[in-house]
A and B are shown apart, each in its own frame.
Chain A
Amino acid sequence: MERKKFLKDSLAALGLATVLPLACSKSSGGSSSSGSSSGSSGSSSSSGSCTVTSTETAGPYPTITPSSYVRSNIVDGQTGVALTIKIYIKNINNSCAALSGALVDIWHCTAEGYYSEYTDTPGGSYATVDYTSSHFLRGRQTTDSDGLVTFTSIFPGWYSPRAPHIHAHIYNSGGTSLLITQIAFPTDICNTVYTTVSPYSNRGVQDTANTADMVFSDSLSNELSSVTGSVSAGYVLTHTIYVSA
């Protein structure tokens, strides 16, 4: 329901531009004219108007900052059973050896089945600059010499009509896509989590089995992860993804 609303509203939001061109004010004495081309990004965007040029001490000095996806802990305040996600990337073009330096993006839904993009700015509203939380349960890591990336997250919930899953996008070190895939969960562990722990238990078990899932049904053998642990101690998911790099 909320997802549909988001999709509908986001279309309207694309048209929500806030441009208010004004004629040049005669009263702004001492001001200097700033750039003239529309969309220029000088001290102030201008289209035939004058604004006061800023006269301040230079700074704060910006520094190059990685995407906020780049972090190992992607929980960002979301509630759920602890899940450590260990993904090994191996290269079929190099005797299935570990692929180091690959970028791995993962994303998955909350315990109640929502993705961050549907709760961040529903209807195209404004997000809060509280740094990373608007992109919760999404992360990016670079594989080490063993081809391994590790994320700290929560056990995902599920939404209809899909089996529980984690999305993964693997890129080479230059950002070129190598593979887009999904990771499936063992059904017995899902059943335990979804029936014994709130808020998962509010919704109960998934409505779609791995074997009936539109994504996994024909490829489960290479997309099913291994999961160990317990509700109280948390779970560890281990999975190997083979790419052609």
Chain B
Amino acid sequence: MQKRAIRLAYRKIIDVNAQKPWEKYVFEDSYREFLMQAQLYNPEKKYSSFGELIIHVPNAEKLHFLVSASVVGYLKQLNGKIPDIVNAIGKHFLPFRNYRFEIINSDIRSKEKHQVAINFLTEPLTWHDTIGSQLLVSLSNTDQQPQEEGETPTELFSIQPYLTIHSLKELT
């Protein structure tokens, strides 16, 4: 097949059901930052939910950006590898540098309603072939060393829930 460069996007949702330490930290700290920053837009505590703030208060959508500062340090701890998504042999392999943080829901009176997403955007991958439901790709920067000269180290993985192909470029 025609070789293509693709970027994948993975949307990781974190809410009150967070289990792993990293997810719990993101949940706790993004909620704390939300409580602090939301006071800018809600000084009289007239509104309770994030949805109400977005509808009624001009510029409240800036909360996505303002709260994102609480998770930047945690993104750094991932060492440039997207969490959760593994290749066919069960290893994390997707490199990322770009992200977009979003508040899905929250509520100044109910931590249980706090729900955020981190959208991870991968670095470009070269898509060589599709085998069954799996994509065969190669990375421009990889830890894998070719066994022989001329070989291209590859990764095989399945498209899975919350993982999508974000962009595509035909390679000549």
Contacts and interface: CB of A to CB of B under 8 A. Distances in A.
User: Is chain B a partner of chain A in the same complex?
Assistant: yes
Interface of A: 7, 10-11, 14, 17-22, 25, 27-28, 37, 39-47, 49, 51-56, 60-69, 103, 105, 116-117, 120-121, 124-129, 131-132, 134-135, 138, 169, 171, 175-177, 180
B21 interface: yes
B132 interface: yes
B84 A44 contact: yes
Nearest to B105: A39
A41 B76 contact: no
Contact of A52 (B72, B77, B79, B88): B88
A36 to B, nearest CB: 11
Nearest to B66: A117
A27 B39 contact: no
A68 B43 contact: no
Interface of B: 9, 11-15, 17-23, 25, 29, 32-33, 35-36, 39-40, 43, 59, 61-62, 65-66, 68-70, 72-80, 84-92, 96-102, 115, 119, 121, 132-134, 158-164, 166
B12 to A, nearest CB: 7
Given A27-B134, A63-B77, A131-B73, 20 more contacts: A25-B158, A27-B132, A39-B13, A39-B15, A44-B86, A45-B162, A52-B90, A54-B84, A55-B91, A68-B72, A68-B73, A69-B69, A117-B62, A117-B66, A121-B100, A125-B100, A129-B75, A129-B80, A134-B68, A171-B36
A105 B84 CA distance: 34
A45 B158 CA distance: 14
Q: Top 4 nearest A-B pairs by Cβ distance? A: A65-B73, A126-B98, A177-B39, A55-B90
Contacts of A25: 132-133, 158
29 contacts: A20-B163, A21-B161, A22-B159, A25-B132, A25-B133, A27-B133, A28-B158, A39-B17, A39-B115, A41-B12, A41-B13, A41-B17, A41-B20, A44-B160, A45-B12, A45-B13, A51-B161, A53-B90, A54-B91, A63-B77, A69-B69, A117-B65, A127-B98, A127-B101, A132-B72, A134-B72, A169-B40, A171-B39, A177-B39
A39 B40 CA distance: 29
Contacts of A116: 65
B10 to A, nearest CB: 8
A27 B88 CA distance: 11
A60 B90 contact: no
Contacts of A61: 21
Contacts of A175: 32, 35-36
Contacts of B39: 169, 171, 176-177, 180
A34 B74 CA distance: 24
Contacts of A134: 68, 72
Nearest to A132: B72
B99 A65 contact: no
A120 B74 CA distance: 18
Contacts of B32: 175
A62 B70 CA distance: 14
Given A44-B160, A171-B36, A129 B77 contact: no
A65 B161 contact: no
Contacts of B66: 117
Given A25-B133, A41-B19, A126-B119, A20 B35 contact: no
Contact of B99 (A40, A46, A126): A126
Contacts of A177: 36, 39-40, 43
